[in-house]
A and B are shown apart, each in its own frame.
Chain A
Amino acid sequence: MAALPKRIIKETERLSKEPVPGISAVPHDDNLRYFDVTIDGPAQSPYEGTLLPPFGGVFKLELFLPDDYPMTPPKVRFLTKIYHPNIDRLGRICLDVLKSNWSPALQIRTILLSIQALLGAPNPDDPLANDVAQQWKEDQNQAIATAKEWTEKFAKA
């Protein structure tokens, strides 16, 4: 395997030395471009954990840095099932900074923060999961209830 670029080494160092609250990203020992990620659901969102059991609200993701990173964005996917209009059944995320608005000056930490913000502000007008987005538009209260239910059921710490 080619030597790891300085950029990736620096980013990884900083992620462990100055971690972002509510977010962790740890590279695999055998593949330093592959990260195990967890994101805590933001407070006051349907993805927030509870103070008492079952707690919940911790979402697992995987993140991979392709060879031409940072010219192309990292590949990120939810591993925990989540009910969200911009995240589909396979955990793929519809987020502009992961696509057309990616800039090589962005970093793993900024991307993960954007994903956390997306949990706090679902956008059913730019959906990836069409059925969820529809539900979100038609009956928002019901959709939020379902999102909470899924959070309790699947997003356990």
Chain B
Amino acid sequence: MDSDDDFNSSQASGDDFLDDQDSDLGLEDDSDFDMDQDDVGFESQDKDMGPRKQAYEVDFKVFDPQQIQGSQDRQIDEVSSILGQPPEATAILLRHLRWNKERLIDRYMDNQEEILESAGLGETAANNPPKISKVAGFVCDICCEDDPSLDTFAMKCGHRFCVECYRQYLYTKIKEEGEAARIRCPGDGCNRIVDSKSLDLLVAEELRDRYHELLTRTYVDDKDNLRWCPAPNCVYAVECGVKNKDLMQIVPTVHCECSHDFCFGCSLNDHQPAPCALVKMWLKKCEDDSETANWISANTKECPKCNSTIEKNGGCNHMTCRKCRHEFCWMCMGVWSEHGTSWYNCNRFEEKSGSEARDAQAKSRMSLERYLHYYNRYANHEQSAKLDKDIYLKTEKKMQQLQNTTGMSWIEVQYLDTASQALQQCRQTLKWTYAFAYYLARNNLTEIFEDNQKDLEMAVENLSEMFEKPVDQLQGLKVDMMDKTSYCTKRRVILLNDTAENLKLGNWEFNVKFS
């Protein structure tokens, strides 16, 4: 009873407190409220709750090869005990039905013989194990040899070929085409799958290993909630519950153990905040229009004041002409002083007035101009990310020299690494915001989006600029740089949360239909 009272009273006072908070501070999150933290600031409260999941983040899990094998074996064991089939046969059945456990059990209960037969495990297969034989009067349809001493092989379907051709066929399928679980009989139009017993009989050990390796791979390939990390040579797979049909509502970026960020929906590099279908359409468009667009992504431009050629060597868009000291913006070629604090007109394409659009020719030029506006900025951030990285690597090298002379420790220069990584991530996001914006219809939501984009862009350029400072000054700029880094990251989170929330609610209005 006592404890009940306690509970009730604490609940009541808690509600009181909450009401106060609600009206005074607009605290929204009441579920995490804790009486003991009356006077604790928000920051440490957040820490106690651990890193909170952002609206744009999804749950996922990374698996190493042993774990993949393990979960595969567990499933085989489980189904094996349900069906009363040995594990080896169960594995063949599961692969045959693309690891769809429920369907396998259903079909097995429905017609055991039929499913065993179609997976190459039938009664007849058990009594007549596959064997190699010589057949009088045989002519191989693949090599046209007819020597009576020829070794031949056929599965139950009766399509007989010489063993040499069969071997070569399996070699091509396994080695060159990477097939394993569903290699068909070489006979024309025959759908019979080459079962692993026949395969073991026919191929050399070295190929058998590759075959079993590929069989393991099919487990991940066949499961909708698993995907291989696309990074070269990476052996991990990622599990995520986001389905194909959800991809217009969410962008499922996952992070592999190997540090590669990729989209679970389409396996491309992280493309937040743009949904997969938009990305696909944009990339196709860029490919189609690459000839027109190529010239803009060129690396040199002329100074708008003195016309001397200027090469972009850092990621920052704030350019200073070496010759006349004119400061301008690389993206729009406008005077920098007009940007400095309010990075304006640079992320937003001003739609021209209707009178011009009436002319059909002007209209098509407008649409090209509009595309180029967004493409230019998209390509620029991609390019800048590379330049940012180059300059960081150079800086790091110089810092190491500095470390030796000033006695600064390794940990003290880590902020540069953090800054560089934040910069890469933000540029990647900015790049895709331009593809996203290209397809957005003009409305209030878009205005807010462009404001967020502008803020992030400004934060990024400010941070990027820091890397162009002389190395001996960097030491003194440490605090400033750390501030700018966390500000960048914060702006990115704000932008991504806003887009993700509206995506989930279907609030975005696009100017095209994504199939």
Identify the A interface with B (CB < 8 A). Answer: 5-7, 10, 68, 70-72, 101, 103-106, 110
Contacts and interface: CB of A to CB of B under 8 A. Distances in A.
Contacts of A10: 144
Contacts of B141: 104-105
A42 to B, nearest CB: 22
Contact of A70 (B142, B159, B189, B190): B142
Nearest to B140: A7
B203 interface: no
A72 B186 CA distance: 11
22 contacts: A5-B143, A6-B143, A6-B145, A7-B142, A7-B143, A10-B144, A68-B172, A70-B142, A71-B172, A103-B187, A103-B188, A103-B190, A104-B141, A104-B169, A104-B186, A105-B141, A105-B142, A105-B161, A105-B186, A105-B187, A105-B188, A106-B188
Contacts of A68: 172
A27 to B, nearest CB: 16
Given A103-B189, A105-B159, A105-B187, A71 B169 contact: yes
Nearest to B185: A103
Given A7-B144, A70-B142, A104 B189 contact: no
Interface residues of B, number: 16
A32 to B, nearest CB: 15
Contacts of A71: 168-169, 172
B40 to A, nearest CB: 62
Nearest to A9: B144
B165 interface: yes
A68 B171 CA distance: 11
A104 B167 CA distance: 12
B160 to A, nearest CB: 10
Interface in B148-193: 159, 161, 165, 168-169, 172, 186-190
Nearest to B190: A103
A7 B165 CA distance: 12
Contact of B172 (A7, A72, A101): A72
Nearest to A10: B144
Contacts of B187: 103, 105
Nearest to B186: A104
A101 B172 CA distance: 14
Nearest to A8: B144
B165 A104 contact: yes
A137 B145 CA distance: 47
Nearest to B165: A104
A7 B164 CA distance: 14
Interface of B: 141-145, 159, 161, 165, 168-169, 172, 186-190
Contacts of A103: 186-190
A116 B145 CA distance: 29
A106 B309 CA distance: 62
A35 B172 CA distance: 24
A72 B176 CA distance: 10
Given A10-B144, A105-B187, A110-B188, 18 more contacts: A5-B143, A6-B144, A6-B145, A7-B142, A68-B172, A70-B142, A71-B172, A101-B189, A103-B186, A103-B187, A103-B189, A103-B190, A104-B169, A104-B186, A105-B142, A105-B159, A105-B161, A105-B188
Given A71-B168, A71-B172, A104 B142 contact: yes
A25 B145 CA distance: 23
A105 B158 CA distance: 13
B467 to A, nearest CB: 46
A71 B144 CA distance: 14
B194 to A, nearest CB: 13
Contacts of B188: 103, 105-106, 110
Contacts of A70: 142
B182 to A, nearest CB: 11
A10 B142 CA distance: 11
A110 B189 CA distance: 12
Nearest to A72: B172
Closest 8 CB pairs of A and B: A103-B188, A71-B172, A104-B142, A105-B141, A105-B188, A10-B144, A7-B144, A6-B144
Contacts of A72: 172
A70 B143 CA distance: 8
Nearest to A7: B144
Contacts of B159: 105
Contacts of B143: 5-7
Nearest to B159: A105
A72 B172 CA distance: 8
A110 B188 CA distance: 10
A103 B169 CA distance: 9
Scoring A7, A70, A104, A110 by chain B CB atoms within 10 A of each residue's CB, the highest score goes to A104
Contacts of B142: 7, 70, 104-105
A8 B188 CA distance: 18
Nearest to A11: B144
A70 B161 CA distance: 13
A104 B144 CA distance: 11
A6 B168 CA distance: 16
B147 to A, nearest CB: 11
A7 to B, nearest CB: 5
B175 to A, nearest CB: 11
